[in-house]
Amino acid sequence: MSETTHDATVAVSAPAAPDEGLTAKELAAKHGLTVSGARPSLIEYVRQLWDRRHFILAFSRAKLTAQYSQAKLGQLWQVATPLLNAAVYFFIFGLLLEADRGMEREVYIPFLVTGVFVFTFTQSSVMAGVRAISGNLGLVRALHFPRASLPVSFALQQLQQLMFSMIVLFAITVGFGHYPDLSWLLIVPVLVLQFFFNTGLALIMARAGARTPDLAQLMPFVMRTWMYASGVMFSIPIFLADKPAWIANVLQWNPAAIYMDLMRFALIDDYSSKFLPDHVWAAAGAWAVLFALGGFVYFWKAEERYGRG
C-alpha cells in the first residue's frame, strides 16, 4: 500500500515539459520558426530587394542580350524597331493625314521620333511587367527571392534599351539643326522620373498579370489607345486648337504626354514652354512618386501568392 502511494506521488509531482500547453503559433515563435512563403514587412521587403540589386542588374542585362539573340542584326533591332515605327507614323500622320498642322519639317521629325522613343519606353515596360511573373513561373517557384525583383529588372532592361535609342535620337535631332545646349541637361531628370513611373506601372501590371494571364493579350490594344491619346504623332494643343479646351488639358496631363513633352522641350529648340501644361515638372514628379510608391506597395501586398495556384 505504501509503495503504491509513493509511486502516485512521484507521478503527480513530475515537472511539466517546457513547451507543454503552447499553441502551434506560440511554439513556432519561441523557436524562431516562420511560415514558409510568408510576406515580410514592407521595410524588410525593401531591404531584401536592395540585397538582390546585383541580381536585378545582371538579370536585366541578360534579358537585354537575349532579346534579339536569334536575329542576324542582333542588338541593332533595339534602335531599328522604334525607327521603323517612327518612319511608318511619319508617312501616315505626317504626309497623308498632315498631323504636323503647319509644324516645320525640321521640327516635326525630331518631335515625332522623340515621341515614339519615349512612349516605347513606357509601352515596353508595361508589356514586360504584365509577363514578369506569369512568364517566369519556373524561376518564381524554384527560388526564394523578392518577386518585385522581376518587374523592376524588366523596367531597368527597357531603360538600358532606351539608352541605345537615345544615341540615334541625338543624331536625328542634331541632323535637323537642334544642337546641344543647357536644356539637354533636363534629359536626365526626365528619364529618372519616367523610369520610376514605368517601374511602378510595371509592378502594378505584374500583379494583375500574375492573376489574369489573359491580360497580356488585351494590353496591346490598351497601349495603342494610350499612344493615340498622348500626342505621339501630333502636338495636342495645336491639333486640338479648335476643340473645347478641357479635352486638350486632360490629354496633356496624362503621364505619357508629360514625359514626352518634357523630352521634346529639352531637345528641340522651337518646342517652347508654351506647348507644356502649367506646373508640368510638379505633375511629372507627382506621377512618378504616386506610381512608384503605390505600385510597390500594391505588388508587395500579394507577395506570398505569386507562383501559387
Looking at residue 96, the DSSP 8-state letter turns out to be I
The one-letter code for the residue type at 88 is: V
d(CA 259, CA 123): 13
Helix (H, G, I), strand (E, B) or coil at 180: coil
Helix (H, G, I), strand (E, B) or coil at 177: coil
Who's near 74: CB < 8 A, 6+ residues apart? Answer: 68
Q: How confident is the model at residue 258 (pLDDT cuts 50, 70, 90)?
A: very high
Continuous H helices in the chain: 2-13, 24-30, 42-51, 53-67, 77-89, 105-130, 137-142, 149-175, 187-211, 215-229, 236-239, 245-252, 255-267, 280-300
d(CA 57, CA 52): 9
Q: How confident is the model at residue 83 (pLDDT cuts 50, 70, 90)?
A: confident
Residue 87 has pLDDT above 90, yes or no: no
Angle at 126 (CA atoms; ends 277, 248), nearest 5 degrees: 20
Closest CA to 78 of 163, 175, 153: 163
Residue 3 has pLDDT above 90, yes or no: no
pLDDT single digits (tens) 67-82: 766 666 666 777 777 7
The one-letter code for the residue type at 261 is: D
Alpha carbon distance, N-terminus to C-terminus of the chain: 64
Residue 166 has pLDDT above 70, yes or no: yes
CB atoms within 10 A of CB 295: 25
pLDDT > 90: percent of the chain = 44
Interval 96-103 mean pLDDT: 66
Interval 280-304 mean pLDDT: 96
Residue 256, class by beta-carbon neighbours within 10 Å (0-12 exposed, 13-18 middle, 19+ buried)?
buried
d(CA 137, CA 259): 33
Who's near 268: CB < 8 A, 6+ residues apart? Answer: 107, 110, 111, 114, 173, 178
| DSSP output for 272-287 | -GGGSPTTHHHHHHHH
Q: What are the φ/ψ torsions at residue 6 (nearest 5 degrees)?
A: -65, -40
CB atoms within 10 A of CB 239: 17
CA distance readout (Å), 133 to 73, 157, 251, 308: 29, 16, 31, 11
d(CA 187, CA 265): 9
d(CA 245, CA 261): 18
pLDDT single digits (tens) 10-65: 445 555 556 566 565 565 555 555 555 578 899 999 999 999 999 999 999 888 87
Asked which of 10-19, 114-123, 179-188 is least confident by mean pLDDT, the reply is 10-19
